[in-house]
């Protein structure tokens, strides 16, 4: 009996041991199973939450991981200069963490290739990235496509470097809009050459391709023109500057100014072109011309010596529409064309009060001689004359939407800033347009509650507001939509005095606009996660970004 019971106990013990083992195995299996399902869950999440901005058109997560080595070897047959270009594209997001060596195919981790022949219509900037466990293949048909591919890969490296590996995936991508721009006003405040290059890098980081450089205005002429040295000797300097809010009428009593030499400009144009960015220079006319008229008073309507403007705002001083003025502008534009290869030149055209033209003999005589109806038609005549000159030299003009008033020049593009109406009107006339309505695209506006933000121009354009922008106006009929080239963020600098403040106004709003223009903006809450994943990159690059902007509401709550 005892023996039996002992046997029985033994049996029981053995059984319980067995059950424990099974349970343990099951637990192991369960944990294993959970890990597997969790990791596939992670993969699913990362398909949407990959830290990519602008988000690519298509991402497919595959199984496996590519381990990020200390040294990335690249197989390619590019020249030294192209090799450098690849390196700095990587370095936009990865400050010197990766070393590049030209390598033979057999032990390279990144291979560049051409796309297989076209099956269907493809965008010229189209690219494919295939990440396998042992190698990465990039395919594109243009250098620009390759540039964007490396940018995307660089964002992935930057994010996954700390984790040690990147999930395998396939990305196919191309942009939606052809004008993906940022503007910078360097007249109200001047920013040194080195910062302009940084600014261009910021555009490149987010796959922007157009830098609209606002070079002249009432408060300072910033481009050296050899034929007219006084433009920078006199026009680049103001005796004092407004500080604080406009209504307080306070000044800093200190000479302020600066300009870019033609050598500086050549260097910057080259820098931009290496990053596939076109610089569209803007020379303002017929208004916003105080600095030019201060340098050469004979170009104005009063003939009197005026000052380079010390206040912000709009001034009555305007170019007088006489032969001498047109000769001057054409000579200026000749030098501008020599410096900037851009097909499109911005000729301003905004906010030109007609007060002085109304009483100016030359202006009135010209209205009579040309059979013009009024001063608005005179503005149109002015712009058309400049357009003809630029067209003759193979260039085309773009102007702010006021150039519609009095009749649009035959080949002009229009930049719609006073809402969407100018863009709609020009598209309906079958002219190409760039949409920059203030409510979505003015980055000099507040991006948070004005009570807790540094002083800004006014308005309210939160990051979420930018992200909500639909570039093609709803009112356009289907056949006119093709005239919308894209959009840009405008950075007017009355209240932006330093490079750090430019960064603060631009980051993170540039990322929202970048995704709108790439055509992949959908869900703001998803975008928000991705933007925050870029914060460490910006911190590493010492970019002074606005950490609160992303949490600000679409519209300011009514008080
Ligand atoms: C503009 O904002 N004056 C074009």
Nearest-CA residue for atom 3 of ligand 1:
350
Residues contacting 484, CB < 8 A, separation 6+: 177, 423, 427, 432, 433, 435, 471, 472, 473, 476
Q: Is 132 exposed, middle or buried (0-12, 13-18, 19+ CB in 10 A)?
A: middle
Is any ligand 1 atom within 6 A of the Cβ of residue 400? yes
- The values of phi and psi at residue 495, to 5°, are -110, 15
Atom of ligand 1 nearest to the CA of 490: 2
Give the Å distances, CA to CA, from 374 to 12, 326, 380, 407, 408: 108, 20, 10, 11, 15
- Residue (of 365, 331, 91) closest to 226 by Cα position: 331
| Tens digits of pLDDT across the chain (559 residues) | 555 565 666 666 666 656 666 556 555 544 444 444 444 444 454 555 688 999 999 999 999 999 988 777 777 666 666 666 666 676 777 654 455 555 556 666 788 777 777 767 788 899 999 999 999 999 988 889 989 998 999 899 888 888 889 999 999 999 999 999 999 999 999 999 999 999 999 999 999 999 999 999 999 999 999 999 999 999 999 999 999 999 999 999 999 999 999 999 999 999 999 999 999 999 999 999 999 999 999 999 999 999 999 999 999 999 999 999 999 999 999 999 999 999 999 999 999 999 999 999 999 999 999 999 999 999 999 999 999 999 999 999 999 999 999 999 999 999 999 999 999 999 999 999 999 999 999 999 999 999 999 999 999 999 999 999 999 999 999 999 999 999 999 999 999 999 999 999 999 999 999 999 999 999 999 999 999 999 999 998 999 999 999 999 999 878 7
**Which strand (E) or helix (H) includes residue 336?**
helix 323-339
Q: Is 221 in the pocket of ligand 1 (CB under 6 A)?
A: no
CA of 258 to the centre of ligand 1 (A): 22
Residue 98, token pair as written in the block: 């990766």
Residue 85, pLDDT score = 67
The per-residue pLDDT for 33 is 43
Question: Distance from the CA of 273 to the center of ligand 1, in angstroms?
Answer: 26
Question: Measured on CA atoms in the order 528, 523, 468, 59, is the torsion positive or negative?
Answer: positive
Residue nearest to atom 2 of ligand 1 (CA): 417
Question: Does 351 sit in the ligand 1 pocket, CB within 6 Å?
Answer: yes
Residue 210 in tokens: 């157009």
Instruction: Give alpha helix (H) positions in 132-261.
Output: 143-160, 193-205, 230-233
Contact 328, 257 (CB under 8 A): no
Q: Give bridge partners of residue 300 from the DSSP assignment.
A: 319
Distance from chain centroid for Cα 129: 23
* Residues catalogued as catalytic: 217, 288, 351
Q: Which two tokens stand for residue 292?
A: 């030019």
Element holding 347 (H helix, E strand) = strand 344-348
Q: How far apart are CA 244 and CA 514, in angstroms?
A: 31
Q: What is the pLDDT of residue 9?
A: 60
What are the structure tokens assigned to 219, written together? 């408060």
If one residue of 314, 417, 422, 434 were mutated to test the ligand 1 pocket, choosing by the most ligand atoms within 8 A of its CB, it would be 417
Q: What six digits make up the tokens of 65? A: 């991981």
400, 402, 403, 422, best to mutate for ligand 1 pocket (most atoms within 8 Å of CB): 400
* Among 217, 286, 350, 353, residue to substitute to test ligand 1 (most atoms within 8 Å of Cβ): 350
CB of 417 closer than 6 angstroms to any ligand 1 atom? yes
| 3-class SS of residue 330 | helix
Compute the distance from residue 509 Cα to the ligand 1 centre, in Å. 19
Contact 457, 442 (CB under 8 A): yes
Residue 530 Cα to ligand 1 midpoint, Å, equals: 32
Task: Give residue 417 CA to ligand 1 midpoint distance, Å.
Answer: 7
Which atom of ligand 1 lies closest to the CA of 288?
3
- Report DSSP letters for 14-53, one per residue: HHHHHHHHHHHHHHHHHHHHHHHHHHHHHHHHHHHH-S-S
Using CA of residue 154, residue 159, residue 165, residue 171, what is the dihedral sign?
negative
Q: How far apart are CA 492 and CA 184, in angstroms?
A: 6
3-class secondary structure per residue, 506-540: HCCHHHHHHHHHHCCCCCHHHHHHHHHCCHHHHHH
Q: Which atom of ligand 1 is nearest to the CA of 438?
A: 2
Maximum Cα interatomic distance, the chain, rounded to a whole number of Å: 132
Report CA(415)–ligand 1 centroid distance (Å).
10
- Which pLDDT value is given to residue 68? 86
| Distance between Cα 348 and ligand 1 center (Å) | 9
Secondary structure (3-state) at 310: coil
Q: How far is the CA of 324 from the centre of ligand 1 (A)?
A: 27
What is 130-147 written as a DSSP string?
Answer: EE-SS-EEEEESSHHHHH
- Between CA 205 and CA 53 the distance in angstroms is 9
Q: Which atom of ligand 1 is nearest to the CA of 351?
A: 3
The pLDDT score that the predictor gives to residue 8 is 61
Whether residue 350 has its Cβ less than 6 Å from ligand 1: yes
Cβ-contact 505, 443 below 8 angstroms = yes
**Residue among 187, 188, 216, 351 to mutate when testing ligand 1 (max atoms within 8 A of CB):** 351
Per-residue pLDDT at 74:
74
């Amino acid at each position: 009996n005892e023996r039996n019971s002992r046997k029985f106990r033994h049996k029981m013990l053995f059984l319980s041991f067995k059950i424990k083992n099974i349970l343990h195995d099951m637990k192991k299996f369960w944990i294993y199973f959970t890990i597997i399902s969790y990791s596939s869950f992670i993969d699913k999440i990362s398909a949407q939450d990959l830290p990519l901005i602008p988000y690519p058109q298509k991402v497919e997560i595959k199984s496996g991981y590519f381990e990020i080595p200390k040294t990335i070897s690249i197989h390619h047959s590019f020249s030294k200069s192209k090799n450098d270009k690849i390196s700095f594209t990587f370095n936009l997001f990865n400050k010197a963490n990766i070393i590049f060596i030209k390598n033979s195919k057999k032990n390279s981790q990144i291979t560049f290739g051409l796309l297989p022949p076209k099956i269907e219509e493809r965008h010229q900037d189209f690219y494919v990235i295939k990440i396998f466990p042992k190698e990465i293949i990039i395919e594109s048909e243009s250098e620009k496509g390759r540039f964007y591919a490396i940018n995307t890969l660089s964002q992935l490296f930057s994010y996954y470097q700390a984790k040690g590996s990147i999930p395998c995936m396939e990305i196919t991508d191309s942009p939606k809009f052809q004008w993906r721009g940022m503007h910078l006003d360097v007249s109200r405040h001047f920013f040194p050459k080195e910062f302009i290059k940084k600014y261009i890098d910021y555009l490149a980081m987010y796959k922007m391709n157009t830098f609209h450089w606002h070079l002249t205005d009432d408060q300072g002429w910033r481009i050296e023109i050899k034929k007219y040295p006084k433009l920078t000797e006199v026009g680049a300097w103001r005796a004092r500057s407004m500080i604080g809010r406009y209504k307080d009428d306070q000044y800093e009593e200190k000479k302020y100014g600066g300009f870019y030499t033609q050598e500086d400009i050549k260097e910057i144009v080259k820098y931009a072109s290496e990053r596939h960015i076109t610089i569209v220079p803007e020379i303002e006319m017929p208004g916003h011309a105080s600095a030019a008229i201060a340098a050469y008073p004979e170009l104005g309507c009063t003939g009197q010596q005026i000052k380079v403007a010390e206040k912000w705002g709009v001034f009555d001083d305007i170019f007088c529409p006489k032969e001498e003025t047109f000769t001057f502008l054409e000579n200026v534009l000749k030098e501008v064309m020599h410096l900037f290869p851009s097909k499109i030149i911005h000729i301003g055209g905004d906010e030109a009060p007609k007060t002085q033209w109304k009483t100016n003999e030359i202006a009135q005589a010209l209205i009579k001689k040309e059979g013009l109806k009024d001063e608005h038609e005179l503005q149109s005549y002015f712009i058309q004359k400049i357009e003809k000159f630029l067209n003759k030299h193979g260039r085309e003009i773009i102007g702010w939407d006021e150039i519609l008033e009095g009749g649009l020049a035959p080949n002009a593009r229009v930049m719609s800033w006073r809402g969407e109406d100018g863009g709609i009107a020009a598209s309906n006339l079958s002219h190409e347009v760039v949409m920059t309505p203030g409510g979505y695209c003015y980055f000099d506006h507040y991006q948070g509650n004005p009570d807790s933000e540094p002083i800004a121009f006014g308005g309210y354009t939160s990051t979420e507001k930018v992200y909500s922008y639909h570039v093609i106006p709803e009112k356009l009929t289907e056949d006119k939509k093709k005239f919308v080239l894209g959009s840009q963020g405008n950075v007017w600098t009355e209240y932006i005095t330093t490079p750090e403040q430019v960064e603060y106004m631009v980051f993170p709003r540039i990322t929202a606009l970048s995704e709108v223009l790439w055509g992949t903006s959908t869900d703001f809450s998803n975008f928000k996660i991705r933007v925050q994943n870029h914060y460490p990159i910006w911190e590493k690059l010492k970019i002074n970004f606005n950490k609160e902007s992303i949490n600000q509401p679409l519209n300011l709550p009514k008080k």
